[in-house]
Copies of this chain bind each other. A is one copy, B any other.
Amino acid sequence: MTVPADLGPPPPLPAGGLRVLPLGGLGAIGRNMTVFEAEGRLLIVDCGVLFPEADQPGVDLILPDFTPIADRLDDVEAIVLTHGHEDHIGGVPYLLRLKPDIPLVGSRFTLALIEAKLREHRIEPYSLTVREGQAEQLGPFGCEFFAVNHSIPDALAVAIRTAAGTVLHTGDFKMDQLPLDGRLTDLGGFHRIGREGVDLLLSDSTNAEVPGFVTAEREIGPVLDDLFRNATKRIIVASFASHVHRVQQVLDAAHAHGRRVAFVGRSMVRNMGVARDLKLLRIPEGLVVSLDDAASLPPERVVFMSTGSQGEPMSALGRMASRDHRHITIEPGDTIILASSLVPGNESAVYRVINGLARWGANVIHKEVAKVHVSGHAPAGELLYLLNAVRPRNFMPVHGEWRHLQAHARLAGQTGVPDDRIVLCADGDVVDLVDGVARITGHVENHYVYVDGLAVGDVGETALTERRILGDEGFIAVTVVVDEATGKVVGGPFVAARGFADDPTAFDPVLPLIEQALDSAAADGVIEPRQLQQTVRRTVGRWVSDTYRRRPMIVPTVLEV
């Protein structure tokens, strides 16, 4: 296995070769995007967003860096979307802004979700619906689609046949052997294509560190049944708004226990409408009622199926926890079930919501205390099944932080993939498949592209570094007005600070120090505003460090009049 090395730009792709350029999804869970190049044409698989962590404050979304393909969008045959999760489709509107007529290829549910999202961006895409078993020639890329089981319906893996060989990209998957909809991951198909010969396998690494196998989704049913049986007041279930099978089990439990269900939260209402139309969600006649109707039912006759399972403070559940929801006020004895994962980084937010709900007397059930969630990603045991079915000549773990990619590489090694055929790489690394061997041949620049409000890319590492300092320490701004000709102070020093201390008199001691420093600068003949600003910065910086052992941002302004 490789360790980080300085790589330059890649050489030209040899004729008959296949280039693989991951623009996201390696080193972090999210913004999955892989670009394939053959015969001068490009095929993109997925185009997702990454959600920011605490060290990316104020950022709404993180996009893949489209720069390496920005001047080649005319070469793109299509964007294949493996499934409808945000970390696989969320970047599409931003890419289509650059060129709206790139065709989208995906399953019915996947396309329905991305089309709904694109409507909000006022983009009407060209799209091609495909299903498992189907093959489509997209320029030089011969694509074949395989059913995979995941925490959203209608997910696909894609095999890509090119002159350079065959690539299999699993997308996100697991191998639930008793899936709720009977749609198994097509292990038989993977065996078949493995026999034909797979030159490069790209496979989901999210759970590669986790030993064993996932519990079947349907085992959550009896747990819900039990919780519903014992609930005496209202039941509120929170889950991802795209987890149709989880919602199905909630509907079934509600039906069995004589409760009506109301969908709560914009994305839940929208997605379940889509799922119902596509017959992916079976809703017994009369089961689902409006929020208003639900509010008028007796507590023991109602279930609210809500968004907010990741602790988002403005979500439906977040508002209930802070007693700020328009329709639903938590009462002692209500049962709340977080039938969802706990995405790393969201723990504090989720526990804040749980504590808020518990404070009002609700009984909150989450995955740490009852089996109300199973993962959507294959753990090590299932990844071994896949590797043994495909027996790839080269292997490239994708979709994971470095620890996950490394664990997955180790599994591949254990199944017999030679060490030098395991390509462990980072976003922006260029992998060329030539003469049956996949190898890192270079690196292209790859940045996080931040979306903040309406703007894309204007917030970069400089602004984020400043935000981190400001957020931890606040700032002290000092303004001085000097005479343009003489450099003599005619106004100020005036101190304004935010985020430093609650006491507004805290800066009284530093004012005379600043005046003194400016006086002695003047005595030395210093009248340049830039130099005076340095004087102010040094004086205030030393004072605050000596007095407080802190390092707030110091913003000196010397104005000439």
Is residue A479 contacting chain B, with contact meaning CB distance below 8 A? yes
A142 to B401 CA separation, bound complex (whole angstroms): 55
**Is there an interface contact between B211 and A477, defined as CB atoms closer than 8 Å?**
no
Is residue A455 contacting chain B, with contact meaning CB distance below 8 A? yes
Nearest B residue to A370 via CB reads: B211
Name the distance in Å between A368's Cβ and chain B's nearest Cβ. Answer: 6
Nearest B residue to A545 via CB reads: B453
> With a CB–CB cut-off of 8 A, which chain B residues contact A472?
57-58, 467, 471
**Is there an interface contact between A332 and B463, defined as CB atoms closer than 8 Å?**
no
A500 to B363 CA separation, bound complex (whole angstroms): 42
**Is there an interface contact between B501 and A458, defined as CB atoms closer than 8 Å?**
yes
Name the distance in Å between A528's Cβ and chain B's nearest Cβ. Answer: 16
Name the distance in Å between A80's Cβ and chain B's nearest Cβ. Answer: 28
- A 31-57 binary contact with B (CB < 8 Å = 1; else 0): 000000000000000000000011101
| A502 in contact with B555 given A360-B3, A481-B491, A550-B452 (CB within 8 Å) | no
**Is there an interface contact between A406 and B496, defined as CB atoms closer than 8 Å?**
no
Nearest B residue to A561 via CB reads: B491
**Is there an interface contact between A27 and B355, defined as CB atoms closer than 8 Å?**
yes
**Is there an interface contact between B347 and A500, defined as CB atoms closer than 8 Å?**
no
| A548 in contact with B351 given A402-B359, A463-B474 (CB within 8 Å) | no
Interface size of A in residues (CB-CB distance below 8 Å):
80
**Is there an interface contact between A348 and B53, defined as CB atoms closer than 8 Å?**
yes
**Is there an interface contact between B348 and A344, defined as CB atoms closer than 8 Å?**
yes
> With a CB–CB cut-off of 8 A, which chain B residues contact A479?
479, 557, 559
Interface residues of A in 249-308 (CB under 8 A from B): none
> With a CB–CB cut-off of 8 A, which chain B residues contact A237?
none
Nearest B residue to A495 via CB reads: B557
> With a CB–CB cut-off of 8 A, which chain B residues contact A506?
458
| A351 in contact with B561 given A3-B361, A471-B467, A472-B471 (CB within 8 Å) | no
**Is there an interface contact between A351 and B403, defined as CB atoms closer than 8 Å?**
yes
**Is there an interface contact between A502 and B460, defined as CB atoms closer than 8 Å?**
yes
Is residue A68 contacting chain B, with contact meaning CB distance below 8 A? no
A460 to B494 CA separation, bound complex (whole angstroms): 23
**Chain A interface (Cβ within 8 Å of chain B)?**
1, 3-4, 27, 53-55, 57-58, 209-211, 332, 344-345, 347-348, 351, 354-356, 358-361, 363-364, 368-369, 401-403, 406-407, 452-455, 458-464, 466-475, 477, 479, 481, 490-492, 494, 496, 498-503, 506, 547-550, 553, 555, 557, 559-561
The 24 sampled A-B contact pairs (Cβ below 8 Å) are A54-B348, A57-B471, A211-B369, A345-B347, A347-B347, A351-B401, A354-B403, A355-B403, A356-B402, A358-B403, A358-B406, A359-B402, A369-B407, A455-B501, A463-B499, A466-B474, A466-B499, A469-B499, A470-B475, A477-B496, A477-B557, A481-B481, A481-B491, A491-B561
